[in-house]
Amino acid sequence: MKKKVLSVLSLSMAFWMNAQEKDSLNQKKIEEVVITGQYMQQSINKSIYKVDVIDAEQIKNMAATNVAEVLNQSLNIQITPDTRSGNSTAKIMGLNGDYVKILIDNIPVVGDTGLGSNIDLTKIALSNIERIEIMKGSMGVEYGNGAVAGVINIITKKTSTQKISVRGSLQEETVRDQYDLKKRGNGRHIQNLNVDYNINNEWFASINFNHNQFMGYEGESKGYKYFGQDNTRGYEWNPKDQYDASALLRYTKNKTTFFYKLSYLNEKFNFYNPEVSRNPLNDGLGGVAYESRDREYNTDRWVHQFNIQTNLGHIRYMGDFSYQNQDRKFADYNYDIPNRTVKSRQEERSYYKTDVIYSRGMFSNFLDSKVFDFQLGYELDYTNGYAALIAGDFFGEAVKRKIFTYSNFLSAEWNVSDKFSLRPGVRLSLSENFNDQYNYSLSARYKTSENSNLRAVVGSANRFPKYEELYTYFVNINHDVQGNPDLNPEKGFSAGLFWNQNFAAENNWKINYGVDALYLDVRDRIEMVMVKEPSTYKYMNINNYKNLLVSANVDFRKDQFALSLRGSVSGTSVSMNDLKSSSPTDFQYLVQAGASATYRLKSTDTNFALYYKFTGPDRLYVSDGANDFRLGKIDSFHMMDFIVSQPFWNKHFEISAGVKNIFDVTRLNSTATAGTAHNAANGFVNLYYGRSYFARLMFQF
C-alpha cells in the first residue's frame, strides 16, 4: 500500500510541475571538483592528493540503489556482506570497515559501534548524491581516528538550477529468480522522491525520501513458512525494509554559506530461526504446534548537521557541527508457523546504541597568499556507547562506556613554483582513555607537463580500540571471553606514488591513463587470541599487517562512447600470533581487473552501459584451531552488469532495464575462514544472491 501511495504522489507532483522550466537528467558537465583533503573545494587536477571520483552520471548509469552497490564496481574496494546482521561494509587494501572512514559531507557517519567506521553502506541511499570521493592510504592528519586504509566521502546535492525541481524514481528488481508484488512476496522494491526549491537568490531548500524493501532470498533454505525440523527454515539473505528521509536548508550570500540538514533512517531486519520446535498441545486430540524463536531488529538513526563556510577578514573558516544517534533494537518472539501468528513477544531492547556529539573546524588563508598557505584545525567527538552483546559472536553483560577524543591539526601548503607544490601536516589526538597520538603527513604534487601530474603522499593514522574490544566480559563454565582496557591504539602508515596523464589524440579521441603504487603498514593490530587453553580468549595488540598495491587505468572517450580499463595487483603479509605459534609472513597476492563501457545512441538518445570486474583467488593464513596456521583460499569470481536507458518526453522521463550479476555469483568456496570463540568456520563465503533483473522509471521536472 505504501508503494502505491508513493507512486501516485510522485507522478501527481511530476505532472503538476510540468510547466516548470526544463532541467535535463543529463546536465552539462563542468570541471570536476573535489573537497576531500582540500583547504577549499577545487579542481581535481590541482588537488595535492590523488582523489578518485564517482559522479552522479556514473551512479545513474549503474542503476545502483545504495552506496555499497556503487563501490562494488571499484577496484581494490570489496563490499563484505554479513547475512546474519544485514550489514555490508567496505574493505580497502584488505582491511575491513574498522579501518575505513565513511563521511557524508565531510562528517563521519554514526554506526553501531562508533563514529565513521564499520558503517553499513546499504543504509546510504543514492537518490540525492552528487558524487563519491575516495582516497586510499592513511589520512590521519586530515581525518583522524580510523582513517587507516582510506576515506570515502559522500557528497550530497545542495543546489538546483530551477526555481522548483521534482525528481524521483521507481525501481523493481528480481532476487535471482524470485519476484512478485504481493505482501510477503519476493524481490526488491525501491522508490525515492526529491523536491528542490530555490526560495530566492540566497535561500535553498530540499527534501528527500527513499524506500528500499528487500524481501529476502531463501537460497538453499525454505522460507519462514516452512516447519520441517531439519534446520532449513528461513533465508540465506534475510529480509529488510528501509525508510530514510532528509531535509536541507541552505543560505548563500557573498562569501558566506551555511546549511542545516536533518536526516532520519529506519530499518527493520528479520531473522527467521532455522530451528523449529514441535510442542504437544495437550488438547486430547494429539494436536501439536510448530514454533520457532525468531528475532526482529529495528534500527533508528537521526543525524543533525550544521556546516558554515565564511571569511573572517581574509581568513577562511569552515565549521561542521553534528549530533547523531543510532539505536539498533531487537525483540524476540515465538512464531506459530502453520497458523502464521505471533504467540508471545518480548519487549523491544537496545542491542547497539550510540550517541555522538561531533565538531570539526578549519581556518586557512592566514597570509592571503597564493604561494604559501597553512591550515589550523580542531576535531572533537564525544561518543556514548552501549552494546548489549546478545547476538553474533558475543553473549554476556552489556557494555556502557563514554569516550571523548580531541584533536588539533596543522598543515601548510607551499606552491614552490607553478609546477611543484608541497604540503606537510601534523595532528595531535588526545583521549581520556589512551596516550596522546601523533600523526604526520607529507604530500607533494609535481606538474610534469600541462596535462600530467605526479603525486607522492606519505601519511600515518591510528585506530582507537572499540568499546567492545576494551570492555567485553563474558565468563561462565564454558567460556572466558574478555576485553582489554589496557589496549593501545593501532598505528598505520602509508606511502604512495601516483602518476596520471591525459591528452587529446587524433579523430577526437580523449585519453587518460595513470599508474598508482601504494604501501600500507599497520602495527599493533588488535585481535582476539587464545591466552589459555582450552577456551580463554582476550583482545590483545598482537598482529602486524602489510599491504602493497600497484594499479593502472586507461580511459578512452570519443563523442558518445567511453571505455575504461583497470587492473591491479595487491600483496598482503600478516604477522599473527597465537598461544604457541606464529603465522608465516610471506606476501600473498591478489589480482583484480575491471572494465566499463558506455555508449549513447545519438539518434534516439539511448544509453548502453556495461560494467565488469574480476577478482582473482584470495589466499591468507588462518588459525586452524590447533595452535597452528594454514594457508586458506577464497575462490575467484567475475561480476558483470548490463543496463539500457531510454529517455523520453523531452527527457523528463527515463526508463531503464538490465541485468545485474550476469555470471550468477552467489557464494564462494573458502578454506580461509577461521572459527571464532563460539562458532566454527563455514566452507564458503556468502557474497551475492545471484543474477537479478530490474526495471526503473525516473522522472524529473
Enumerate domains of the chain plus CATH numbers: 165-700 (2.40.170.20)
Cα–Cα distances in Å, from 649 out to 509, 537, 694, 697? Answer: 31, 64, 22, 13
Percent of the chain residues past pLDDT 90, beyond the cut: 70
Predicted local distance difference test score (pLDDT) of residue 538: 83
| Cβ-contact 407, 140 below 8 angstroms | no
Rg of the chain (C-alpha set): 26
Q: Which residues pair with 45 in a beta bridge?
A: none
**Residue 422, pLDDT above cutoff 50:** yes
The pLDDT value given to residue 182: 72
Q: What is the mean pLDDT of residues 286-309?
A: 94
Residue among 546, 547, 538 at smallest CA distance from 578: 538
Distance, CA of 11 to chain centre: 31
The CA-atom distances, in angstroms, between 214 and each of 108, 172, 218, 462, 689 are: 26, 10, 12, 36, 12
8 A C-beta contact, residue 427 and residue 409: yes
Give residue 478's pLDDT band: very low, low, confident or very high (50, 70, 90): low
The model's pTM: 0.91
Candidate from 420-434, 466-480, 519-533 with smallest mean pLDDT: 466-480
Question: What average pLDDT does the segment 171-194 reach?
Answer: 89
Q: What is the mean pLDDT of the chain?
A: 88
Residue 673 class from Cβ within 10 Å (0-12 exposed, 13-18 middle, 19+ buried)? middle
Name the band, by pLDDT with cuts 50, 70 and 90, for residue 112. confident
Per-residue pLDDT at 629: 84
Q: How far apart are CA 435 and CA 546, in angstroms?
A: 24
pLDDT at residue number 43: 87
**Which residue's C-alpha cell is 528521509?**
245
Tell me if 213 sits within 8 A of 181, measured CB to CB.
no
**pLDDT at residue 419 above 90?**
yes
